[in-house]
Amino acid sequence: MRLLPKTLELGWGPYFWLVYLVPALFVTITLDNLPYQLFFASGLLAFFFLYFRGYWLTGKDLYQTYFGLMGLGLIYTPFSPVFSVYFVYSGAFLGRIGPPKHAYLLVSFLFAVVVAQALFLPPPLFAQLIPAVVLLIVAVPNIQMAAQHKLKNELLRSQEEVEHLSRVAERERIARDLHDLLGHSLSLIVLKAQLAKKLVSADPDRATHELADLEREARAMLAETRKAIQGWQARTLEEEIKQARNSLETAGIAFNAKIAKLEIPERLETAMALILREATTNILRHARARQCTVQLEKSQHWHLEIADDGCGMQGQEGSGLAGMRARCEALSGQMAITSEAGTYLSFQFPLEAQ
Q: Are 51 and 65 in contact (CB under 8 A)?
A: yes
Among residues 161, 194, 219, the one where a domain terminates is 161
| Higher-confidence position of 188 and 19 | 19
CATH of the domain at 332: 3.30.565.10
Give domain status of residue 217, yes or no. no
Q: Quick one: pLDDT at residue 260? A: 76
Give domain status of residue 202, yes or no. no
When pLDDT is averaged across residues 301-308 and rounded to a whole number, the result is: 93
How confident is the model over 123-159, as pLDDT tens digits? 787 777 888 889 999 888 888 888 887 888 787 787 7
> Which residues are bridge partners to 296 per DSSP?
259, 304
Q: Containing domain of residue 297, as a range?
A: 235-354
Give domain status of residue 204, yes or no. no
Burial zone of 168 (CB within 10 Å; 0-12 exposed, 13-18 middle, 19+ buried): exposed
Give domain status of residue 239, yes or no. yes
Q: Quick one: pLDDT at residue 167? A: 73
**244 and 125 fall within a common domain:** no
Residue 344 pLDDT exceeds 70: yes
Type of residue at 29: I
Give domain status of residue 6, yes or no. no
Give domain status of residue 121, yes or no. yes
pTM of the model: 0.51
**118 and 28 fall within a common domain:** yes
Strand positions, DSSP E, 129-276: 254-259
Residue 292 pLDDT exceeds 60: yes
How confident is the model over 164-187, as pLDDT tens digits? 776 777 677 667 766 666 666 677
Task: Give Cβ neighbours of residue 183 (< 8 Å, ≥ 6 apart).
Answer: 278, 281, 285, 320
User: Which of 167-176, 221-230, 262-271 has the lowest average pLDDT?
Assistant: 221-230
Among residues 144, 161, 178, the one where a domain terminates is 161
**40 and 152 fall within a common domain:** yes
When pLDDT is averaged across residues 25-50 and rounded to a whole number, the result is: 93
When pLDDT is averaged across residues 237-258 and rounded to a whole number, the result is: 88
User: Which of 18-32, 119-133, 158-172, 273-287 has the lowest average pLDDT?
Assistant: 158-172
Whole-angstrom CA distances from 60 to 14, 66, 102, 158, 353 are 20, 10, 11, 25, 51
**35 and 144 fall within a common domain:** yes
Q: Quick one: pLDDT at residue 227? A: 67
Q: How far apart are CA 193 and CA 153, in angstroms?
A: 58
Give domain status of residue 32, yes or no. yes
Between strands 254-259 and 291-298, the pairing is: parallel
**137 and 272 fall within a common domain:** no
| Higher-confidence position of 217 and 119 | 119
How confident is the model over 232-242, as pLDDT tens digits? 555 688 888 98
**128 and 251 fall within a common domain:** no
**20 and 143 fall within a common domain:** yes
Provide the mean pLDDT of the chain: 84
When pLDDT is cut at 50, 70 and 90, the band that residue 28 belongs to is very high
| Higher-confidence position of 86 and 169 | 86
Give domain status of residue 186, yes or no. no
**58 and 147 fall within a common domain:** yes
User: Going edge to edge, which strands form the sheet with 302-308?
Assistant: 254-259, 291-298, 302-308, 342-349, 334-340
**244 and 335 fall within a common domain:** yes
**246 and 113 fall within a common domain:** no
User: Comparing C-alpha atoms, which of 56, 60, 63 is closest to residue 1?
Assistant: 56
Phi, psi (degrees; rounded to nearest 5) at 346: -125, 130
Whole-angstrom CA distances from 37 to 18, 40, 122, 264 are 20, 5, 22, 89
What DSSP string describes 337-348?
A: EEEESEEEEEEE
Q: Are 323 and 173 in contact (CB under 8 A)?
A: no
Q: How many domains does the chain have?
A: 2
Q: Quick one: pLDDT at residue 70? A: 95
Return the percentage of the chain with pLDDT > 90, whole number: 31
**46 and 138 fall within a common domain:** yes
**342 and 246 fall within a common domain:** yes
Among residues 107, 135, 161, the one where a domain terminates is 161
Q: How far apart are CA 14 and CA 4, in angstroms?
A: 9
Q: How far apart are CA 119 and CA 128, in angstroms?
A: 8
Q: In a 3-state reduction of DSSP, which class is residue 230?
A: helix
